[in-house]
């Protein structure tokens, strides 16, 4: 199901594509799912992009909920701001996190 939303972190209007789970500008997400797309999580906290990793050929952002601490890996989308993804990966490499 396609859902458009306004990012609660940066205010960007995001046009969902059915798989959109984070803001392509600031990379923040929201804790709304238990399983992808179910909207069953009652937390609703903001999920900070904490780190970045590559598994095989896929790039992932690790999000951590600022309310309950839930951690979720989300694939980097083609729409995501490459500078933001690179900055996230560079920041974590500098701090010894991979």
Neighbours of 25 (CB within 10 A): 16
Please give the pLDDT value at position 59.
Answer: 94
Domain layout of the chain by residue ranges: 5-94
pLDDT values of the chain reduced to their tens digit, one per residue, 98 residues: 678 899 999 999 998 887 788 999 999 999 988 887 788 888 999 999 999 899 999 999 999 999 999 999 999 999 999 999 998 877 555 455 54
pTM: 0.85
Positions of E strands within 1-98: 5-6, 13-14, 29-30, 46-55, 58-65, 71-75
Please give the pLDDT value at position 77.
Answer: 93
């Amino acid at each position: 199901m396609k859902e458009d939303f306004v990012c609660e972190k940066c205010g960007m209007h995001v046009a969902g594509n059915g798989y959109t789970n984070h803001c392509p500008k600031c990379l923040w997400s929201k804790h709304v799912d238990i399983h992808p797309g179910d909207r069953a999580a009652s937390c609703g906290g903001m999920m900070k992009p904490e780190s970045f990793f590559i598994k095989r050929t896929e790039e992932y952002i690790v999000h951590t909920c600022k309310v309950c601490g839930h951690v979720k890996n989300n694939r980097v989308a083609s729409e995501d701001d490459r500078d933001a993804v690179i900055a996230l990966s560079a920041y974590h490499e500098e701090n010894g996190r991979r």
